[in-house]
Amino acid sequence: MITPEQERAFYDRQYAQFLAMPDHALRMDRAVLLGNMSNPEHPFFERRRLYRAAMVELEAEPLAGKRVLDYGCGPADFGLWMAAESAEVTLLDLSPLAIELGLKRAQASGVARRVKGVAADAAKLDMFADGAFDLVFACASLHHTMKYPGALEELARVMRPGARLVLCETWGGNRPLNAARRWRARRQGEEEEQGEAIILAEAEIELLRRHFGELRVHQLSLLAMGKRLLRGRFRSAWARAAVMALEATDRVALATCPPLRAWCGEAVITARR
């Protein structure tokens, strides 16, 4: 199993390259976030429907004044957007360079007074009091931390009773798709530290149910997971048209036959403490 030290070193290398970027390229707010999702040249374009669905869930209750934990924040796009919406945001990541980057971006975005950063192992959150947060958001990060003993217990502990959990994750209910993911990762030489072999599915949902109530899984992208084959080609009109056609087919298929959602490849998961 990958150790926290190996994972930290991998992500430090990933985020170091962004620290030299100018402030205007680091700024984040709602307009920038939505613009990135609409930009075929930005990595967010591929998962734009997933990310927009996560934003809808995050905005289901007013963000202003909420104590928010951006759990496994990475470059902190969503945490900084929520800070721009007047939330009090704490960035948490195993990588110290992710936190350095997040705080630099907070300064560039004019929200530094509402943003704190903590570099820590998610299994040891002693720096946070019980019930410290009203909302926890994790974007493609809980699948990394669940493998470490005590991580879920610590996550639950730092959330106040009634606090909301919003997760944005890949979904692993489709075995052929999972096999295709593993094949693609091997073919593209992805490092094990990326954690792409760990995908949430029903077994992980049952672990979450031990700590959270009102748990709901909203799956997206059935045939639209074919977009992975077009990665790097979204600048082309034909590639974007193909993805939109697959998404339109999905909307009809999933509305007509809801059980097909179990075979989707992405999910927004919500729950309450």
SS (H, E, C) the chain: CCCHHHHHHHHHHHHHCCCCCCHHHHCCCHHHHHHHHHCCCCHHHHHHHHHHHHHHHHCCCCCCCCEEEEECCCCCHHHHHHHHCCCEEEEEECCHHHHHHHHHHHHHCCCHHHEEEEECCCCCCCCCCCCCEEEEEEECCHHHHCCCCCHHHHHHHCEEEEEEEEEEEEECCCHHHHHHHHHHHHHCCCCHHHCCCCCECHHHHHHHHCCCEEEEEEEECCHHHHHHHHCCCCCCHHHHHHHHHHHHHHHHHHHHCHHHHHHCCEEEEEEEC
Q: What does the pLDDT profile of the chain (273 residues) look like in tens digits?
A: 677 788 888 888 989 999 999 999 999 999 999 999 999 999 999 999 999 999 999 999 999 999 999 999 999 999 999 999 999 999 999 999 999 999 999 999 999 999 999 999 999 999 999 999 999 999 999 988 888 889 999 999 999 999 999 999 999 877 777 676 666 666 666 555 445 556 788 889 999 999 999 999 999 999 999 998 899 999 999 999 999 999 999 999 999 999 999 999 999 999 999
Query: Taking the model in full, what pTM does it have?
Result: 0.91
Domains of the chain listed by start with CATH number? 4-272 (3.40.50.150)
